[in-house]
Amino acid sequence: MKKFFTSESVTEGHPDKLCDFISDSILDAYLEKDENSRVACETVASKGEVIVTGEITSTAENINIEEIVRNAIKKIGYDNANTDIDYRTCKIHVNMSKQSPDIALGTNDEIGGAGDQGMMFGFACDETEEYTPLPISLAHKLAKKLTEVRKNGEINYLRPDGKTQVTVEYDGDKPVRIDTIVVSAQHNEDANLDTLRKDIKEKVIDLVVPQNMLDENTKYYINPTGRFAIGGPLGDSGLTGRKIIVDTYGGYSRHGGGAFSGKDATKVDRSASYMARFIAKNIVANGYAKKCEIQLSYAIGIAKPISIYVDTFGTATIPEEEIVEKIKSNFDLTPKGIIKYLDLKKPIYKEKMRLRAYGMPKEDDKVFLEIKKKYKGVVYKRRAEMTLRQAREYLSGGEKPPQDSQILREIDYTLKFHDIHPMVCLCYERVALYGKENPDLRITFDTGIRFRTDELDLGAGARGQNLLPPGGVLMEIKIPGAMPLWMARALDEMNIRQTSFSKIGTAYTNFIYEKEWGEARSCCKVS
């Protein structure tokens, strides 16, 4: 049976997404100083004003919320009050209170109960490599590409606001073609509409959408109303959590009652949704079903879920009752268990630029200037090659390397809108192993990890403080998609627990501790 399904996505500059970013940036600031912070932060943006409200209980001190808000707006690229909002001049109102002590009673470390009642959903299917439905997958990729060509200067007249939409034709449950693509992109006031439509078709759509899914009947609507100069909070008000459909599965699957952004992991409407998604993805990745929806439900102050529901839509290869039992036996679904398993006390938004070299580089040796971004578990990494001399000159405000590339244009944007300066130098030795049958599987072992916060020169050698205890080895497993259950079981038998560990993040944390308290804190435990 022929049927059509549509999903939409939005760019980071959409007013609702701007509010999400502000709320999560505030959350991150508290988590960086106090990983046990309780945060429920809401943001409203309209015209030239931003209102931040909610509840925060934390030991973190000296958190300048207004500065965080302005930096978040700046990072997205909003700097024109005539068309959207200006990070320099917008009004910011902060109205924060502490979390209710009644709620806190049931969510402390001793009890570890859920921070609220509610039901949460996770979904996965085998339509795409990331186990999401094709419509939302393509809509997200178009929105990401739209932001990329704006920030790297490839389409230099675009502004931050934008929306994408994709309609997929299905034959039964199988996607067979793309029926309609919609892209609406904010632009400078003097932009030519015909040029914009041509650029977005060639530099965004054609590079993202699989050509074999397009045909002569595919319809394209690029800025269908024409002019889109006024956008962001000036064109429409923004609100944290209003893009819950975009944040989940594009309407293809159900979602829970609570939104995500601005909430710490004790709020199960965020953490349990992430866990349900993780479980659903593993079920599909391991061949137990082609499509799977998980529901978890909680009661406030009660640690264990009060119900677990599985729907495989008739695609299961084993009974659904058996899948439920596998979930119960393999996963700790208490808030404390979820937080530990997914390592949810770390900041969600991570962004860094690094100068990477192999060996001990001299002035004319090749190095890599790399941008690495992480958002909600997804890592984006791009690099530009240049000599060490060129990199030093460029980063000190001098001449840009001669090669013209998209990544250098993106780095230019990052240097313009971000406050970037050298913080930490890391040195280590690495042994890497690659899978024979699956070359995308990589296991690395890092030893002799040292860091320093002075002499930030790549040629200064492997000096500095040890990042790991004596004899410590950092093992990292990288594999696309979900970790196979056989690997998870093997690690469990060896008493190796999954965790997140950032060498740069840990080194920076030690730097902060030394700076503020005169001592380094313990970096990690080796069992």
110, two tokens: 């001793």
pLDDT of residue 515: 42
Is 382 a residue whose pLDDT tops 90?
Answer: no
Poorest-pLDDT segment among 17-31, 53-67, 327-341, 386-400: 386-400
Give the position of tokens 């993106």. 410
Q: Which residue has the tokens 């944040």?
A: 247
Quick check: 260 and 120 in contact, CB under 8 A?
Answer: no
State the pLDDT at residue 524: 34
Place of tokens 């309780």: 38
Torsion over CA of 134, 346, 480 and 170, rounded to 10 degrees?
Answer: -10
For the record, the structure tokens of 520 come out as 């380094």
**Which strand (E) or helix (H) includes residue 281?**
helix 268-285
Return d(Cα 203, Cα 205) in angstroms, integer.
Answer: 6
How many CB atoms are closer than 10 A to CB 92?
A: 19
Overall residue count recorded for the chain in this entry = 527
Instruction: Assess whether pLDDT exceeds 90 at residue 226.
Output: yes
Task: Provide DSSP, 272-321.
Answer: HHHHHHHHHHHHHHTTS-SEEEEEEEE-BT--S-SEEEEE-TT--SS-HH
Beta strands in 143-209 (DSSP E): 158-171, 174-187
Q: Output the pLDDT for position 423.
A: 72
Report the share of the chain in percent with pLDDT over 90: 54
What pLDDT score was predicted for residue 512? 42
- In this prediction, residues 130-154 reach a mean pLDDT of 94
Render pLDDT for 394-412 as a digit per residue (tens, 0 to 9): 877 778 887 777 777 777 7
To which residue do tokens 């106090």 refer? 34
Read off the pLDDT of residues 79-108 as tens digits, 9 standing for 90 and up: 999 999 999 999 999 999 886 665 555 565
Cα–Cα distances (Å) from 140 to 86, 168, 262, 305, 415, in that order, read 26, 14, 21, 31, 25
**Domains defined along the chain, listed by start:** 15-100 (3.30.300.10), 348-420 (no CATH), 422-527 (no CATH)
Write down the pLDDT at residue 185.
Answer: 98
Q: Are 240 and 19 in contact (CB under 8 A)?
A: yes
Per-residue pLDDT averaged across 55-70, rounded? 93
Q: How far is CA 167 from CA 4, 176, 204, 250, 513, in A?
A: 6, 11, 17, 11, 51
Q: Specify the pairing of strand 91-97 against strand 49-57.
A: parallel
Report pLDDT digits (tens) over 165-206: 999 999 999 999 999 999 999 999 999 999 999 999 999 999
Q: Does the pLDDT at position 332 exceed 80?
A: yes
- pLDDT tens digits, 345-374: 887 766 677 888 887 788 888 888 887 766
- Note the pLDDT of residue 525: 30
Rounded Cα distance between 175 and 166, Å, is: 12
Average the pLDDT over each of 160-174, 208-222, 510-524 and give the range with the smallest value: 510-524
- Which residue(s) pair with 465 in the sheet? 451
Single out the residue of 166, 140, 152, 150 nearest to residue 231, CA to CA. Answer: 150
- Residues 415-441: tens digit of each pLDDT: 766 666 677 788 888 888 888 777 778
**pTM for the complete prediction?**
0.78
Q: What does pLDDT average to over the chain?
A: 85
pLDDT at residue 492 in the model: 74
pLDDT at 378: 57
Q: Which two tokens stand for residue 30?
A: 């508290």
What tens digit of pLDDT does each residue of 255-295 get? 987 889 999 998 999 999 999 999 999 999 889 999 999 99
